[in-house]
Structure 1
Amino acid sequence: MAQRENGSPRGRGRPGARTSGGRPNRARKARGASRVGTRIEGVVGPVAHGGFCVLRPEEGPVLFVRHALPGERVVAEVTEGADGDRFWRADAVEVLEPSSDRVEPPCAVAGPGGCGGCDLQHVSLPAQRAWKTAVVREQLRRIAGLEDGVAATVQVEAVPVPGRPDDGLRWRTRQRYVDLGEGRTGMRKHRSHEVVEVDDCLIDAHAGSDHVVDGTAFSVAEDGFWQVHPAAPDTLVSAVLEALAPQPGESVLDLYAGVGLFGRFLGEAVGEQGSVSLVEGHPGASSHSVRNLADSPASVHVQAGDVATVLAGRFAAGHVDLVVLDPPREGAKRAVVEQVVARTPRAVAHVACDPAALARDVALFAEHGYRLVALRAFDLFPMTHHVECVALLEKS
């Protein structure tokens, strides 16, 4: 099960599953003849969200191509697609004219047909961060309608692993392998159940997290998730505190609170005259947040349950000064955003692991007069297309 990095599950729907209303998902239309294996030569266009580049051939649908870089001339082999589809997925299996940003992947199974865990090992680290910067900006432009300001100037920041060179390797403190028997391990191919044997994943740190942030130890369930990059908790806490600038005596609402990572430090900032109210959907993680804030100087209120439902039930009703949101990958969505703005906070910090979901939420906040005034993005998942953002929204 995919899980939240700060201590609770990240829910994700299963293809073909029933909706919350009990209706089956709409059946897919009949497809034309498969084009898997078709090879197409062309010049690669801009990056796209999801670890792809866009290639628009002279004929046929657009291709979303992995293992390519903008400006390269490649031979792309279709991996998913059929006649009549709006787009096909493909791998760059030959690079005829390489980009100056291309490097030799450090992992032997990172290329086409190999392990699906890393999207960007063929890209130099500076270019990986430029790639992610372009994606964040484009999602804010296309989805949130933000053409300038902080949306146009954000830069993805490097976050090296403490005590290691900034090489993008050995940062993942929790890794999952497929047991192949006889001591052999493997990892799955991209969008596939097929397994590639992997002796040593190069982003695996081979060490767990100590769950200590700025000298404070956190209680976390043995199977509960924590940020997998060892520098991530300190980095994100610092960014949230800097963005919100909490003052003594203020009230804070911590949503999707996990084990209380942000609530703990916000409680210290608002002090004895302040309050922190935490909502988390996973009961186990919520119980850990009670322990982690047991000695908080602030007044602490913890509620387990679906965030939108809990807020609609008048939990922490009335005005609050500050809100921090750390939703799952799909974002906070309208029901939660409307409950947040109803409490008229002076500032909202939105921690997002998906720039498209962040852009959708930013657009929802804008409907209620809250504008994006600051944004930081962090490269907490090197060699992959993933990026973490901390956005500050204030009432305009």
Structure 2
Amino acid sequence: MSSPELTTAAHPDRLTVTVGPVAHGGHCVARHDGRVIFVRHAIPGETVEIVLTEHDADAKFWRADVTKVVEPSAERVNHFWPEADALRAAARGAAPIGGAEYGHVSRKGQLALKTSVVREQLERLGGLSTSALDELFSVGVEDVDSAGTDAQQAGLGWRTRVGFAITASGKLGMHAHRSHTILPIQEMPLAVPAVDDLRLWELDFTGIERIEVAAPANGSGVLVLLAPVHSLSEKAAGQALKRVARALATREVPPSVARWNPENSEIEVINGRGWVKETTDDHEFRVTGDGFWQIHRNAPKVLADAALGYLLSGGYLNDGADVADLYAGAGLFTAPLADAVGPDGSVLSVEGSPGTSRDARKNLHASAHVEILQGRVEKILGTQSRASQSVGGQRRRFDAVVLDPPRAGAGKDVVRALVATQPNAIAYVSCDPAAFARDVKYFANAGWQVEKLRAFDLYPHTHHVETVALLTPAAKQH
């Protein structure tokens, strides 16, 4: 790697660097005088000019954005979104918004970068060998839009849920990366068309602090959640909410609108209803307010097919099986698990969010063999074991488990509690390769191994990637 030089002595925060490998989190690694710099909006191998955005003298590493490309990669393309383009932002003396940090990379290049990140995390944090990954992960990260339209092939129009901030002047905006600065936007090209059809950038959001939009891919109706500025009086907040609701009511297809408290997820319906209807090929789901649902329009099918496919093909979901869905949300995996094990089987659904757990009860009310519990996964797993033993039985053992934790991962305590139930197999769904890799190591320390692995690009133009793995006890590897 060549040594960077200061661009000019007058601008010590500006450097020219040759970019090294991709790192988890949407950065690439460069170095200056032995110090690591995490550079956003670069591609490995490029020579670029950068501006340091965080560069305390005693910091272990610095952060930077690309401002000019000196020697581009063959995978560099023009960014599709002006507000998120680092080069155009630099030209006007501004920062780009976050949320599309890979928009300057070809779709083929994005898949390659994400494949490198998944491999590196599983080797460094998960302890998997290069040869094991060569066998498990030869396909690399898979594109889920390859059979779609031209726009979909470019990774656009996929988000069914979007969050927005509001500028000081009341305009729709998004944050710059790692910044409180809110920049105005005029479109959201990653979102499904129903979101842009609302033309939110035309509205006056004075008095509103945050907005969440849920727009199911099935076209069943959009929900807009509005969070008033916390410091407003109740009268002023009410006026702001009514003004925005009236404006949204004039849209060609008016959305449902609700007041929203981001701190406790409470909602108060203003127009329409406070929930959306999500569907899969075989099931319908109610998701209230800001309740969790996979955001890529294809994600529910892709992930359910992969996770349950592992368990079905391995013979772990026979009629009468006892299974669990942990971090179950509104029931995306619970419903097909209930179908697979039949009425003679049993399904334990565990979800931490009270509102989402209530949704699961509504969605699965007709399945008497599904038990839905709300609370912390590790505590409920322990309670299940103690309850079984207290009535003279043995510790509860699951034939199969679907584990779909939040971005932070399951963690050591959950892994320990889950392994204690001695399941035959676990289908692990993860949205963060670092958290997944750490959990793989915890499982390995408990005598478990990754038997199968796939990864999907369910977040095009961002650094995020979804993995689905089949974990089994090492003695059962085949």
Please give the range of the TM-score, normalised by the shorter of the 2 chains: 0.7 to 0.9
Judged with a 3 Å threshold, the aligned counterparts in structure 2 of structure 1 residues 37 and 392 are, in CA distance, closer, same or farther, namely farther
Give the match's secondary structure for 1:272: coil
Give 2:159's aligned amino acid: R
Is 1:222 the counterpart of 2:289 in the alignment? yes
* Correspondence for 2:37 among 63, 77, 83: 63
1:123-162 matches, within 5 Å, as: 123-147=105-129, 148-150=131-133, 151-160=136-145
* Correspondence for 2:21 among 46, 52, 67: 46
Deviation at 1:222, TM superposition (A): 3.0
1:265 corresponds in structure 2 to: 336
Judged with a 3 Å threshold, the aligned counterparts in structure 2 of structure 1 residues 37 and 257 are, in CA distance, closer, same or farther, namely farther
Q: Deviations over 1:274-319 (max 9, x none)?
A: 11001111111112112222223x7211110111121122367421
1:301 corresponds in structure 2 to: 371
Give the match's secondary structure for 1:78: strand
* Correspondence for 1:116 among 98, 101, 108: 98
Judged with a 3 Å threshold, the aligned counterparts in structure 2 of structure 1 residues 305 and 204 are, in CA distance, closer, same or farther, namely same
* Correspondence for 2:52 among 78, 88, 101: 78
1:329-344 matches, within 5 Å, as: 329-344=407-422
Deviation at 1:183, TM superposition (A): 7.5
Give 2:372's aligned amino acid: V
Where does the alignment leave 5 or more consecutive residues of structure 2 unmatched? 1-9, 87-94, 195-214, 219-277, 389-394
Give 1:41's aligned amino acid: T
Judged with a 3 Å threshold, the aligned counterparts in structure 2 of structure 1 residues 126 and 162 are, in CA distance, closer, same or farther, namely closer
Contact 2:50/2:66 (<8 A) preserved: yes
**Please, which moves more after superposition, 127-136 or 298-307?**
298-307
Higher relative contact order (CA closer than 8 Å, sequence separation 6+)? 1
Deviation at 1:37, TM superposition (A): 6.2
Larger radius of gyration: 2
**Please, which moves more after superposition, 169-178 or 101-110?**
169-178
Q: Distance in 2 between matches of 1:105 and 1:263?
A: 39
Deviation at 1:339, TM superposition (A): 1.1
Structure-2-length-normalised TM-score: 0.72
Q: Deviations over 1:135-189 (max 9, x none)?
A: 0000000001112224553511111298533111111112122334888422111
1:103 corresponds in structure 2 to: 77
Give 1:236's aligned amino acid: L
Is 1:325 the counterpart of 2:403 in the alignment? yes
Contact 2:283/2:335 (<8 A) preserved: no
1:284 corresponds in structure 2 to: 355
Give 2:431's aligned amino acid: C
Is 1:373 the counterpart of 2:451 in the alignment? yes
Structure-1-length-normalised TM-score: 0.87
Number of aligned residues: 360
What's the % identity of the aligned pairs?
Answer: 46
Where does the alignment leave 5 or more consecutive residues of structure 1 unmatched? 1-34
Contact 2:97/2:177 (<8 A) preserved: yes
Give 1:254's aligned amino acid: D
Give 2:17's aligned amino acid: G
